[in-house]
Structure 1
């Protein structure tokens, strides 16, 4: 990738600690003061896009310098917040107009994107990820995604071991824990009719791995999940050991293939190392959390991503 020119735009919520850390990193290591934008401030803030013979100009009343942006971190975007009116149809119209304007204003910026918004949206679909990972050579736990209670019950009954269930979609909803299916859960399966759910073979694990991938640079952390309360979902326990890890070349190749096929420059992958020695792909989050990995291990992940945004190079030079 060519060196980014101009400033850096971070699109995220106002209270995002990852954005705070990135702002500090960009200032310290590159002398860059990035622009931060919470899309929920629109249309309370005003904006304009103008095109004439001289070119184009973008403006939002609460931020400055959009036309000088050379790189964008599409970190945690939200929709514009449109005040409710009397008629639902009017509200839907105003929301669509605000979304169309704000997204078009930003997406038309000719910058380096981490990640491209259209690609990012497709890549967040868990079914797309699983099929892509399978074709890339990863081992995938046997999986069913359905809103049919009978299909779900039949799948659980047919499996030789435990089955977990987890969220299928993505979005700003509350954290959703991955859990083992219990008899009580089977009695509530009718609830999935309006919320398609992912059911998957439970993988007996040696450990869990969280991999931050930035343009081919891997930052891998081994999570000793089986020694704490996060045996099923490693996100539930940060008190266990976190240590930097190197992946086998074959696994790194599969990751690179997955990320290339999904069109992602950045992503946080969850991989489970089974007691059978296999590396099982679970998912990749294009907007995943990684600050706690750096805190736990000292890996320079923020510097790596900052280097990519400013220089087009995610490798971190030795101090």
Structure 2
């Protein structure tokens, strides 16, 4: 049995599931709004939610796309008993999660969110070029027009409670100093790019796409500011062999066998920006005709 963790209506997950269905493979899809209880049946761990149920030892492979395995905890009215109950359930949950990670897997719930600062340090150790970066809580030493700021975490989605609209924190060029201090933020050297590269890494292989975002003022600084009227040109791209070796070293350091990596090509250099273990790669598959969905289905 194949176990898949994902968000509701994630298009990448849907494409892989289509392949699994065509291959007549049994799978369980767990969405991020499900909560499981742990039971014992026939001396075996049995997990059950309102939508799904399965024996732990029936799972042969796991794809941690997004979301994860979340639990409901049982409780009694007696607080003294609940202290013991909570501790016991914690260790049962820990056992289930760690057991799933011993299965054949694509990424793990335990390291699905990486620390950007550590990633950049590891990237340098792997021999990748990284733009100069620093943290600051003011702009006193920020060089205007040659420095960018971006989220210190992954992609940040801002929820608006007033009008039901979401927002994204984009990469931004610092054009003027701020007179006041602010919360610790991430700053990085602005690299003049020839084009950007999105690389999907899977089990030692790299599948890359060049994104010509610099030809459009709207996407020049951050290609995620998509211009639907005039989309960026995206083509299949082959990184130099030594680059792919360094990427493999970085992913081994991070204990990841799957992820999306972003680079900037500038002259003869490739600058590493970040890696997202759960990043979208459907665009890489579609624009470049890579059989990524089938590769994942075959692996599972």
TM-score of the superposed pair, with normalisation by structure 1: 0.77
Q: Name 1:169's counterpart in structure 2.
A: 153
Point out the more displaced range, 244-253 or 289-298. Answer: 289-298
**SS at 1:255's partner residue?**
helix
Q: Secondary structure at the match of 1:210?
A: strand
More helix by share: 1
In structure 2, runs of 5+ residues without a counterpart are 73-82, 159-167
Other-structure match for 1:271: 263
Deviation track 1:99-158 (CA, whole Å, cap 9, x = no partner) reads 87656534422412221233334xx11011100000111111000024x32xx431x13x
**Does the 8 Å CA contact 1:230/1:236 hold for their aligned counterparts?**
yes
In structure 1, runs of 5+ residues without a counterpart are: 1-6, 83-92, 310-319
Checking the alignment, whether the CA contact within 8 Å between 1:107 and 1:117 is kept in structure 2 is: no
Q: In structure 1, what is the Cα distance between the partners aligned to 2:262 and 2:87?
A: 34
For 1:34 and 1:40, the matched residues in 2 are separated by 18
Q: 2:90 and 2:179 mapped to 1: Cα distance?
A: 37
Q: Secondary structure at the match of 2:33?
A: helix
Partner Cα distance (2:206, 2:191) in 1: 24
- 1:144·1:199 contact (CA, 8 Å) conserved in 2? yes
Are 2:135 and 1:145 equivalent residues in the alignment? yes
> CA contact under 8 A between 1:80 and 1:95: conserved in structure 2?
no
**The 10-residue stretch of structure 1 (252-261 or 18-27) with the greater mean CA deviation from structure 2:** 18-27
Secondary structure of the structure 2 residue equivalent to 1:284: strand
- Determine helix, strand or coil for the equivalent of 1:279: strand
1:12 aligns with 2:3: no
Distance in 2, matches of 1:248 and 1:11, equals 33
Helix, strand or coil at the partner of 1:133: helix
Shift of 1:56: 3.3
SS in 2 for 1:76: coil
Q: Which residue in the other structure is 2:294 paired with? A: 303
**For the structure 1 residues 265 and 189, does the alpha-carbon distance in structure 2 shift closer, same or farther, using more than 3 Å as the test?**
farther
Alpha-carbon separation, structure 2, partners of 1:215 and 1:188? 48
Distance 1:59 1:79 in 2: 10
- Whether contact under 8 Å (1:23, 1:33) holds in the other structure is no
Looking at structure 2, the residues matched to 288 and 278 of structure 1 have their Cα atoms a distance apart, in angstroms, of 24
Q: For residues 279 and 40 of structure 2, what CA distance do their matches in structure 1 show? A: 34
Deviations 1:45-88 (Å, cap 9, x if unpaired)? Answer: x522439xx76322213213343211111111158598xxxxxx
The size of the alignment, in residue pairs, is 274
Scaled by the length of structure 2, the TM-score of the pair is 0.81
CA 1:164 to 1:66, structure 2 compared with 1: closer, same or farther past 3 Å? farther
**Residue matched to 1:289:** 280
**Is 2:103 aligned against 1:111?**
yes
* Number of the residue aligned with 2:221: 232
1:302 deviates by 1.1
Match of 1:31 in 2: 24
- Aligned residue number for residue 119 of structure 2: 129
SS of match in other structure, 2:157 = coil
Are the equivalent residues in 2 in contact too, given 1:271–1:281 (CA < 8 A)?
yes
1:172 to 1:16, Cα distance in 2 relative to 1, 3 A: farther
Deviations, residues 286-314 of structure 1 (Å, cap 9, x unaligned): 111011222222211111222222xxxxx
Q: Report if the CA contact (8 A) 1:178-1:233 is conserved.
A: yes
Partner of 1:65: 54
Is the contact between residue 225 and residue 234 of structure 1 (CA under 8 Å) also seen in structure 2? yes
Spell out the pairing of 1:129-278 with structure 2 (5 A cutoff): 129-146=119-136, 148-149=137-138, 152-154=139-141, 156-157=142-143, 162-170=146-154, 173-174=157-158, 175-183=168-176, 186-187=177-178, 190-192=181-183, 196-228=184-216, 229-237=218-226, 239-274=231-266, 276-278=267-269
